[in-house]
Structure formats: C-alpha cells, structure tokens
Amino acid sequence: MDKLLEIIGKEKIDLKYEDFSVFPEDIHGLYMCDSQIGPVIVLGKHLENSRRLHKCMLAHEIGHYFSEPRTSILTVHTSSNLRIMKNQDELKAMRWAFDFLVPWEDLYDAINAGHQTSFELAEYFDVTEWFMGKGLEFYYQLIQYEIQKNYELALKEAQIVDYKYDVALSFAGEDRNYVERVAKYLDSYKVKVFFDQFERSDLLGQFMPPPLKACDR
C-alpha cells in the first residue's frame, strides 16, 4: 500500500475518499483526468475498512492513470464502440494493477512453492481472491495469445521456405505396392513426394562405391 501511495505523490494524483452508497455495489473507485485539475482518483470510504480490497482498487485506478483511458466512467455510453473501448480500458488498468501487485516472477515462484489455488495465492500476495482470480485469467489469456501468435509465425515462416518435398513416404517392405500407388496418386496432383523408387538413381549414387560411380557415368 505504501508503494502505491508513493506513486500517488510522485505523479501528483489527487486522491479523495467519498461516500459511494449511491453507486452500484460493484463500483469502488473512479478515475478522472481534467486539463484544469489534473488526474483525480476517488475511492469509496468503505474501502478504508477493507485493507486488501482498498489496495487492489487503488492499484486498479492508478492503472487507469498509466494506461490513459479513452473513456470516463461518468460518461453515458450510448454506442457499442464506446462500451468496447471501456472494456479495453478496464483490461489495461487491471493488467497494470496485477503486474504491480503480483509480478510474474513472484507468481511463478509462489506456484512452485506449492501455492496452487486462487485462495492460497491471494493469501500469499495479500490481495482479494477475486482480484487474484481475474489476474490469473488474464495471464492465461495472455499465454494462449502468445502461443497462437508464435504458432502463426512459425506457420508463416514454414510457408516461405521452399522445401524440396511436401511429403515423405516411409513404409514396411510388404506395403511397397500399396505405397507406390499412393505416391503416384500424389504425384499426379503435383504434390512433391519423396518415394524411394522415384529417387532410385540419386539414392544409388549416394551409396555407390567410387569405382562403380565412375562406371555409372
């Protein structure tokens, strides 16, 4: 909590506490930025009695400050595009908050130390279980995205390489007649197939003793 308050002071963010009883119960804080008064974070007074939730919500609103949201929670959203932007803003703020309170390296070490559930990890990092669950969900989505991105990149690189063959046929000796028909079928559709019968002269040259190679020429 002290580190978050240090950021508030360093960035000259105005931090206020107000009665949020008139708001829906799932709203604990607001972030606003005005050219006249600068950045302002308003938190519900009820958070002062809930240390972990207080810390998580303050980190989340500071995340809005660093991720520069394109919308304000006080704006009435009338278009789907604005709602989409607001969701993206919330994700960016959540990512900043989770990275700050639960750094990836520390999370990795905690899991290896035997803290496996959301509850155990929340206790370890002194955050709410809800916050930990949302953060783990975010990391899972991020990992899935990276896997998909790397797969698509590898696939793209593979398509650029001009391989000599598209398919290589390996088989037992007793299946030769069947595999030969498959090879000819593939070849008829311009598939570059490696089949030993098609490469017989090249393969013979590779394993032929030097004197025989000379005769072969």
- The ranges assigned to domains in the chain are 1-101, 102-160, 167-216
Q: Return the structure tokens found at 197.
A: 């019968």
Q: Return the structure tokens found at 72.
A: 């304000």
**E strand or H helix at 43, and its extent?**
strand 38-44
Asked whether 194 and 168 are in contact (CB, 8 A), the reply is yes
Residue 34: exposure state from Cβ atoms within 10 A (0-12, 13-18, ≥19)? exposed
What are the two backbone dihedrals, phi and then psi, of residue 208, each rounded to the nearest 5 degrees? -80, 135
CATH number given to 1-101:
3.30.2010
Q: Return the structure tokens found at 189.
A: 């559709």
For residue 2, how many other CB atoms are within 10 A of its CB?
5
Give tens-digit pLDDT for 67-117: 875 555 544 333 445 455 557 777 888 888 999 999 888 988 998 899 988
Return mean pLDDT, the chain: 78
pTM score, two decimals?
0.58
- Give pLDDT, residue 72: 55
Is residue 31 scored above 80 in pLDDT? yes
Place of tokens 């593979």: 158
Is the model more confident about 203 or about 126?
Answer: 126
